[in-house]
């Protein structure tokens, strides 16, 4: 499946999902986290992937810690507002382990660390 990913790390994660024949959807759902009384949007969260086989949303973050804190807050808000939604965050350390263990297995992975640190 060809997608326009926001970052190389998302493309790599999709390639790993493909390797294991895991169906995935890229940013299929935007969850409203907060809205004004007139219904206008204050904040929302669009997890990077949805894995229908597992009914799981996955947010990948390889950002600096200050941005990770914001994503953790959004995940907490998501779980509070939509308790039926199953969502997880993959952090930089998790992502790097996946890349390390799959580098030789998955064709086309981009493993240049300069490209990894911005998702």
Instruction: Look up the pTM and report it.
Output: 0.86
Residue 69: the pLDDT is 86
With a cut of 70, say whether residue 14 has pLDDT above it. Answer: yes
- The model's pLDDT over 81-112, given as tens digits with 9 standing for 90+, comes to 999 999 999 999 999 999 999 999 998 888 76
Q: What are phi and psi of 98, to 5 degrees?
A: -60, -45
Size of the chain in residues: 119
Sign of the four-CA dihedral 90, 94, 96, 99: negative
Tens of pLDDT, residue by residue over 16-45, are: 999 999 999 999 999 999 989 998 889 999
Write out the H or E segment, with its range, that includes residue 60: strand 56-60
| Domain 8-116: assigned CATH number | 3.40.960.10
Share of the chain above pLDDT 90, in %: 66
Domain boundaries, the chain: 8-116
């Amino acid at each position: 499946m060809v997608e326009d990913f926001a970052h190389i790390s998302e493309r790599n994660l999709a390639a790993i999902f493909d390797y294991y024949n895991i169906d995935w959807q890229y940013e299929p759902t935007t969850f409203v986290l907060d809205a004004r009384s007139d219904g206008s949007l204050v904040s929302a969260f669009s997890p990077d992937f949805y894995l229908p086989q597992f009914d799981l949303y996955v947010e990948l973050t390889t950002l600096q810690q200050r941005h990770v804190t914001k994503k953790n807050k959004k995940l907490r808000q998501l779980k509070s507002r939509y308790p039926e939604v199953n969502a997880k965050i993959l952090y930089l350390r998790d992502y790097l382990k996946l890349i390390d263990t799959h580098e030789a297995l998955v064709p086309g992975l981009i493993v240049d660390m300069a490209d990894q640190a911005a998702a």
